[in-house]
Amino acid sequence: MSGPDIARAISRIAHEIVERNHGIEHVVLVGLQRGGTWIADALGERISSIEPSFAIPVGSLDPTMHRDDIGLRPVVAGSVSHIPCDITGATVVLVDDVLYTGRTVRAALEGLNNFGRPRAVQLAVLVDRGHRELPIRPDYVGKNLPTQTTDEVDVSIDGVIVTSITGNQS
Amino acid sequence: MKHLRSISELGSEGLHRILQLTENMAEINSRPVPKVPALRGKTVVSLFFEDSTRTRLSFETAAKRLSAETMTFSVSTSSVNKGESLRDTIETITDMGVHAFVVRHKSVGVPWQIAQWTNASIVNAGDGAHQHPTQALVDCYTVREALGTKDLSGIHLTIVGDIKHSRVARSNIQAFSMLGAKITLVAPPTLLPVNVDHWPVTVSNDLDSVLDKTDVLYMLRLQSERMAQGLVPSLHEYSTRFGLDDERVAKLPSRSVVMHPGPMNRGVEMLIDPSEIPNSLIHRQVTNGVSVRMAVLFDLLSAEELS
């Protein structure tokens, strides 16, 4: 995926979020630290141009402390969570760059409980690379990208780069 | 990091890491439900051979907010009263399967000594007049938060009181020096350590002359037994020369902040009600104590299997 592809995917997902929720009243975007926050911001901007009558709240969540693999891998001091409004009764759209095993999303779902009880939680990702280890599926996908477990997937505003273990980039 | 026993053991890199991690923990503490499962399955024992209110309770609160199990050892109801030795006590508790000891003891070096008898992590919550590293972390974090800057270089810190017997002063001098602060100690000569010339500090006996250059005024508790030792002629003379009253508060620059590690001796070093000090950080110190100790416990216990 190139930079313009990313912009198109964000634009499409923005429309899908508005359509699926019949508007954006009671919808809150929450980007997962750190890769999902800029995408949540971009989605928020796009949605406000589609539905200018509502300001959609955009927040962020650091699920690090809720992970199930603390102690099994180095934990980087993450970023601070910021939930801009009461999420009880709201529809929360979690936003991340890459969906892989699903463990980050599981941790985020648990972390979200600390802030309130949303009416519903949806999941938007730019890249679904497969290899799920938990029963978690996305509601909005930028692109399904078949990968090896040994690949590394990097998403930025300029595009998606998959680096395989042999060093080939695509 | 395996243990936190002194600021020098933590080092400059570790100091910055803990202060950074504390921001995450402060955010967790601001949530409607301030609890995360990060240290599920870990057990933290608080082992206090000296009295404590805020340090012990903030460590226990911190452990609970990270979902660790806590055990409290209180000396007055333990087998120490039947003559059980420190070593046997540590080994007994270790056998129950614990991951960290938070220890306070009147003797210098106890945290290093007991580390030889257990494979658990040791956190020093005060050893004699030597070190109290988590208090220094709390104070550094609180000053950075209050001044709105992570860079403390050139900040003037004035520490007033019984420097000689103060582990808080020793840890704070090391930690604030690492962050670049300029430190002045104000105390009667009898309450200064003999080797103070080797410390990275300026020394003064006149509180009034340093107030106008002070950004952070740090008041220490005068331990009442010091008077019995003849180190202070009278409490009245001490509080006249070194106590904080409204006149001295008025001499501070307007943006200066006032700190005290507690417990306060009202009428001795604190002649003014702290609520009347415009920029008192005394309550922030206690609040931040929980976040800092969460960061310390998380740093010690989360990467255990990795090392």
Chain B: which residues have CB within 8 Å of chain A?
Answer: 17, 20-21, 23-24, 27-28, 31-39, 66, 298, 302-306
Report pLDDT digits (tens) over A82-117: 999 999 999 999 999 999 999 999 999 999 999 999
Whether residue B144 contacts residue B19, with contact meaning beta carbons closer than 8 Å, is answered with: yes
Tell me the shortest Cα–Cα distance from B116 to chain A, in angstroms. 24
Q: Are strands A159-163 and A152-156 parallel, antiparallel or unpaired?
A: antiparallel
The yes-or-no answer to whether B7-130+287-306 and B133-282 have a common fold is yes
Any residues with CB less than 8 A from the CB of B54 and at least 6 apart, and which?
Answer: B262, B286, B289
- Please tell me the predicted confidence (pLDDT) of residue B223: 81
The catalytic residue among B2, B16, B17, B54 is B54
Pick the residue with more confidence: B192 or B229? Answer: B192
- Per-domain boundaries in chain B: 7-130+287-306, 133-282
CB < 8 Å to B306, chain A: 71-74
Residues in B closer than 8 angstroms to A110, CB to CB, are 37
For range B218-241, the mean pLDDT: 87
- Looking at beta carbons, which residues of chain A come within 8 Å of B294? none
Name the residue among B200, B126, B139 with its Cα closest to residue B165: B126
**The pair of three-digit structure tokens given for residue A22, joined into one six-digit string:** 């019949």
- Local confidence band at B305 (pLDDT 50, 70, 90 cut-offs): low
Instruction: Tell whether domain B7-130+287-306 is in CATH 3.40.50.1370.
Output: yes
Q: Got the DSSP string for chain B?
A: ---B--HHHHHHHHHHHHHHHHHHHHHHHTSSS----TTTT-EEEEEESS--SHHHHHHHHHHHHTT-EEEEEEGGGSGGGGT--HHHHHHHHHHTT-SEEEEEESSTTHHHHHHTS-SSEEEEEEETTTB-HHHHHHHHHHHHHHHT-S--TT-EEEEES--TT-HHHHHHHHHHHHTT-EEEEE--GGGS-TTGGGSS-EEES-HHHHGGG-SEEEEPP--THHHHTTSSS-HHHHHHHH-B-HHHHHHS-TT-EEE--S---BTTTB-S-GGGSTTB-HHHHHHHHHHHHHHHHHHHHTTGGG-
At A164, the pLDDT band (50, 70, 90 cuts) reads confident
> B227, B215, B302: which is closest to B259 by C-alpha?
B215
Cα-Cα-Cα-Cα dihedral of A123, A129, A134, A139, to 10°?
20
Residue A170 has pLDDT above 70, yes or no: no
Q: Using CA atoms, how far apart are residues B1 and B7, in angstroms rounded to an integer? A: 12
CA distance B49 to chain A (A): 31
Active site residue B3: no
How close, in Å, is residue B141 to chain A by CA atoms?
16
pLDDT digits (tens, 9 = 90+) for B91-116: 999 999 999 999 999 999 999 999 99
Whether the Cβ atoms of residue B120 and residue B149 lie closer than 8 Å to each other = no
The mean pLDDT of B129-144, rounded to a whole number, is: 98
pLDDT tens digits, one per residue of A27-80: 999 999 889 999 999 999 999 999 999 899 999 999 988 988 887 776 666 678
Rounded average pLDDT over B175-198: 96
Q: What is the mean pLDDT of residues B224-244?
A: 86
B149 is catalytic: no
Q: Looking at residue A70, what is its pLDDT?
A: 81
pLDDT at position A168: 67
CATH class held by domain A3-163: alpha beta
CATH superfamily of this structure's domain B133-282:
Aspartate/ornithine carbamoyltransferase (3.40.50.1370)
Share of chain B above pLDDT 90, in %: 87
More confident residue, A138 or A76: A138
How is chain A split into domains, by residue range? 3-163
Q: What is the rounded distance in angstroms from the CA atom of residue A64 to the CA atom of residue A108? A: 8
Burial string for A79-103 (b: 16+ CB within 10 Å, else e) reads bebbbeeebeebbbbbbbbbbbbbb
The residues that bridge with A37 in the sheet, in sequence order, are none
Query: Which residues 6+ apart lie within 8 Å of B286 measured at CB?
Result: B54, B58, B262
Q: Do A114 and B36 touch (CB under 8 A)?
A: yes
| A161 vs A135: CA distance, rounded Å | 26
| pLDDT tens digits for range B147-174 | 999 999 999 999 999 999 999 999 999 9
